Amino acid sequence: MSVKFYREENQVPLEMHKVRVVQKLNLLPVEERLRAIQEAGNNTFLLRNKDIYMDMLTDSGVNAMSDRQTAAMHIADDSYAGSESFLRLKNAIKEVFGVDYVLPVHQGRAAENILANRFVSPGKVALMNFHFTTTKAHVTRLGGEVIELVKKKGLEPVNDEPFKGDFDLKLLEKTIKETGPEKVAFVRVEAGTNLIGGQPVSLENMCAVADICHKFGVPSILDASLLQDNIYFMKKREAQCKYMAPKEIYHLLADKMDIIYFSARKLGFARGGAIISHNTVLIKSMMEFIPLYEGFLTYGGIDVRSIEAMAEGLYESLDMEYLSHGPEFIEYLVRELDDYGVPVIKPAGGLGAHLNCQAFVPDMPHDQYPAAAVCAALYIAGGIRPMERGTLSEQRDPDGTERFAELELARLAVPRRVFTLSQIKYVADRVKWVWDNRQLIGGLKWVEEPDVLRFFFGRLKEIGHWQEDLADKFRQDFGNSL
């Protein structure tokens, strides 16, 4: 249920929570921001938190916990085995998903590691609506291949498609037949789809994917890390979901999918993660990997205080007032940017607002990393830390050829229950300034390029002196202002 304002011009997203604990922020002068981004190798991951005003890198592990989550942490059971905290987590998963079998892991990519070790071997393929960076890395390191089968409309920056993360179902069935079901490691649905702008997947499409998998005897896997946002979009955009309670949707998906895994750094606003299933045979086939890679079966590499917060956060993921906060703030930011004429992915998805950097710097070649350059410019302009989701986030082909991204995006993530509306408006204002001065943005080149997951800790430098020119223009336009 939305809250309508009496005066239409005052209509904004309305927080259904209040702030009781605050953390001081720091906004450096533009000259110091220039120094900081260059010392970080133009990699926003390598910036120090003390040098950041608006941290919009991710919504993973940086969401604000509720008072109930904080309180739950104080009743944690520190037992190495048989912890009551784990039993409370199992009860929460049973309530939310209706599932009995749970393998705890320390976060989402730990689940990906276990799934890859269980299902992937040389010559096998993993079919996905779209890949995620760590998921793909786990598949390829074991000799597998990732094939992406998202609908063509999902790769268009702007259209009216409500579920741009949907699989192309005909292509999925055709690919399984041509590849041979025995060579398909699994079909993975990511809801919502991170690297194309946090775009949701419809319930109808997910159920159809599961049916196709069952038809061919191929494992169906749901990455539910962003499922909270996705359920919001289902209820807003999909007729059959309008009157369904969130719990009904969770339960239906758990009934259809062979395996669900998630990062609780996103789903549940806590830490940790889990692999869950109705299928005891599948769970037992992965059980041995938990002590090997994570920890004992009742803590899985998660500290027990986080297990308690995770359990409470899962209960909160049934509350539409909590579910709606992120998507509504993101939609507001996307609308502001669109009104300013800034090229942004539409319709608004989950996770954050995504700038279309190919439109920012249309003449910049992919191998000068346009999305990374725009991210650096945004930090210089406002102390805002975005995340590059473009060619820099890809990995090179085995022969060293650069793999160009389908979309060059700068992600402005909106951590849940963290920012105020005035801060969101500040971000929109600074992005508009960068857009108006986009002719100053130049490219980047590698200084240190890791072989795997290079976007996490690689270093680049500017081509020419465009960053100094951008900082000088900021000072001209804003005077003594920060």
Specify whether the CB–CB gap between 102 and 276 falls below 8 A.
yes
Query: pTM (2 decimals)?
Result: 0.94
Cα–Cα distances in Å, from 321 out to 3, 231, 232?
11, 12, 10
- Helix axis angle, 169-179 relative to 203-216, nearest 10°? 20
Our answer to whether residue 261 is catalytic in this structure is no
Whole-angstrom distance, CA of residue 85 vs CA of residue 83: 5
pLDDT tens, residue by residue, 217-273: 999 999 999 999 999 999 999 999 999 999 999 999 999 999 999 999 999 899 999
pLDDT tens, residue by residue, 96-119: 999 999 999 999 999 999 999 999
252-284 burial: b if 16+ Cβ within 10 Å, else e: bbbebbbbbbbbbbbbbbbbbbbbbbbeeebbe
Our answer to whether residue 455 is catalytic in this structure is yes
Can you tell me whether residue 254 is helix, strand or coil?
helix
Residue 422: Cβ within 10 Å count: 7
pLDDT classification of 9: cutoffs 50, 70, 90 = confident
Is 90 exceeded by the pLDDT of residue 2? Answer: no
Our answer to whether residue 132 is catalytic in this structure is yes
The whole-number pLDDT of residue 3 equals 86
- Tokens 């081509």 belong to which residue? 463
Which one is catalytic: 44, 133, 135, 193? 133
Which one is catalytic: 51, 166, 168, 223? 223
Is 90 exceeded by the pLDDT of residue 478? Answer: yes
Our answer to whether residue 33 is catalytic in this structure is no
Cα–Cα distances in Å, from 262 out to 84, 157, 195, 341?
21, 27, 17, 36
Pairing of strands 387-389, 409-413: antiparallel
Is 70 exceeded by the pLDDT of residue 347? Answer: yes
pLDDT classification of 1: cutoffs 50, 70, 90 = low
Our answer to whether residue 389 is catalytic in this structure is yes
CA 389 to chain CA mean position, Å: 10
Token pair for residue 149?
């089968």
Average pLDDT, the chain: 96
The whole-number pLDDT of residue 131 equals 92
Which one is catalytic: 266, 385, 416, 430? 266
Which one is catalytic: 416, 455, 459, 474? 455
Which one is catalytic: 86, 132, 233, 250? 132
pLDDT tens, residue by residue, 37-96: 999 999 999 999 999 999 999 988 899 999 999 999 999 999 999 999 999 999 999 999
Q: What angle do CA 45, 51, 56 make, to 5 degrees?
A: 50
Residue 237: Cβ within 10 Å count: 15
The whole-number pLDDT of residue 15 equals 87
The whole-number pLDDT of residue 16 equals 87
pLDDT tens, residue by residue, 355-386: 999 999 999 999 999 999 999 999 999 999 99
The whole-number pLDDT of residue 398 equals 87
Our answer to whether residue 133 is catalytic in this structure is yes
334-339 long-range contacts (CB < 8 A, ≥24 apart) are 336/424, 336/425, 336/428, 337/428, 337/431, 337/432
Our answer to whether residue 80 is catalytic in this structure is yes
Which one is catalytic: 389, 411, 416, 459? 389
Is 70 exceeded by the pLDDT of residue 285? Answer: yes
Which one is catalytic: 68, 78, 80, 445? 80
